[in-house]
Amino acid sequence: MPKLSGRIVVASHNAGKVREIGELLAPFGVEAVSAASLNLPEPEETETTFVGNAELKARAAAKASGLPALADDSGLEVFALDRAPGVYSARWAGPDRNFKTAMARVWRELEETGASDLSARFVCALSLAQPDGAIESFEGEARGHIVWPARGDKGFGYDPIFVPDGHVRTFGEMSGDQKLPLTHRARAFEKLVASLR
């Protein structure tokens, strides 16, 4: 597996994810280029696991761009909801990506189950694909619990209802500098970097 260098396509059209991955790559002198900026199509996520979807997206972007591609598939797993929304986290937000609706659904379903266990985790699979088809994948997690009502207007996705273990503020209340080291994405990235050493 080659070292991180040059340009890497971040195989995502989610501006929040592209920003976070770009910040993780920056110390290595790597230029992160979003799939959206290259007008690459978004492949349909047909796999049933985070790794499966990340690999599908990374391979498609590497093939289409001729550059190494880093794809992320991530989501929120709420243990009392049998790990839902899981790989369907983005789909719970609907075609217009309305995460207020998705967060409300998480809370509504928790209330319907009568669950007292509000524990949850964010999961991230990162896949680094080369144009020749070689691929490696790494998973990371951030454990915490769900709160309601949602708090904070920073971050993206389900951040305003997730408090990471050992903290009192939601990801949505933290600045990017405070949040990023605690994330599932940073933990998956640490494994990727370790594999390159």
**Among 108, 127, 105, which residue's Cα sits nearest to residue 192?**
127
What's the helix, strand, coil split of the chain in %, to 5? 40, 25, 35
Residue type for 23, please?
E
Alpha carbon distance 170, 98 (integer Å): 19
Question: Cβ(73)–Cβ(59) under 8 Å?
Answer: no
Catalytic-labelled residue, pool 73, 82, 96, 132: 73
* Strand, coil or helix: 131: coil
Residue type for 40, please?
L
The pair phi, psi for residue 164, each rounded to 5°, is -70, 150
Alpha carbon distance 16, 9 (integer Å): 15
DSSP state of 153: S
DSSP state of 54: H
Geometric angle at alpha carbon 41, from 35 and 42, rounded to 5°: 85
Residue 82 is among the residues annotated as catalytic for this protein: no
Active-site positions? 73
